Homo-oligomer: A and B are copies of this chain.
Amino acid sequence: MITKTKKQEIFEEAAKLFQEKGYGAASMRDLADRVQLKASSLYSHIRKKEEILQKICSDQAHRFTEAMGEVEKMKVSEGKKVETLLSLHIRTALEDPTSITVFSDEWKHLEEPYLSEFLERRRDYEQRFRDIIQQGIRTGEFQSLDPSTILYTLLTAIRWLHYRQRPDSSMDAEKLEKEVVSLLMGGLKIGSQLVS
């Protein structure tokens, strides 16, 4: 087992704290208590509070951008690409729920210039996702709906996963992933579900 540095411990505990109370309501004293330091000692490891938020957000953003590059290179149908991206989002939400919560809900507390950088990166990711959707509509694989409507509905639909507190034993991650993808790709109503 690799020993965690104090800095790592601070970042991990901060993510949990931001998730629980929100960035604004989480104080450096709260955080210090959790890592058994005085608040002032935190500043031997970080420059400022926002630096923590910034790192969490940009790490997660980087993760998604990289995966998008992989998916774009795949020689498969657009349906398969969307499924792959959805699976990635779902798996990430289940594996690292705290970071994903902060990334999803607390980015708006970023200050410039990080805020603009974050938003630009997100716009880029969304555009590339939208391009895949658009191509799927063109080939007749997808319903002919507004691509942005599809994009945001799909991306938002999985944002409850990271709120699940403890993994329900009756519902393992793999099953959950399969069910959500099936629901989004095939719809609630019986009719179009494919046997995989």
Task: List residues of A whose CB falls within 8 A of some B CB.
Answer: 22, 24-25, 79, 82, 105, 108-109, 136, 140-143, 145-146, 149-150, 152-160, 171, 175-176, 179-180, 182-194
- Decide: A142 near B24, CB < 8 A? Known: A155-B160, A176-B149: no
Which one of B79, B105, B189 contacts A141 once the chains associate, using CB atoms below 8 Å? B189
Which of B149, B155, B158, B185 sits near A189, CB closer than 8 Å? B185
Given the interface pairs A22-B108, A25-B24, A156-B156, the reply to whether A82 lies near B149 with Cβ below 8 Å is no
CB distance from A163 to the nearest CB of B (A): 8
Inter-subunit contact B179/A146 (CB<8 Å): yes
Q: Is the CB of A188 within 8 A of B183?
A: no
Most buried by B among A153, A159, A186: A153
B25:A109 contact, CB within 8 angstroms: yes
Task: List chain B residues, Cβ under 8 A from A150.
Answer: 183, 188
Q: How far does the Cβ of A143 sit from chain B's closest Cβ, in whole Å?
A: 6
Complex Cα–Cα for A171 and B142 (A): 19
Residues of B within 8 A of A140 (CB): 190
CA distance A33 to B176 in the complex (A): 47
* CB <8 Å contact, B160 and A153: yes
Q: Which of A22, A25, A140, A187 has the most CB of B within 10 A?
A: A187
Do B184 and A187 touch across chains, with their CB atoms under 8 A apart? yes
Which B residues are CB-close (under 8 A) to A194?
Answer: 189
Partner of A142, one of B155, B160, B188: B188
Q: Is the CB of A156 within 8 A of B149?
A: no
- Interchain CB contact under 8 A, B179 and A188: no
A183 contacts B24, C-beta separation under 8 Å: no
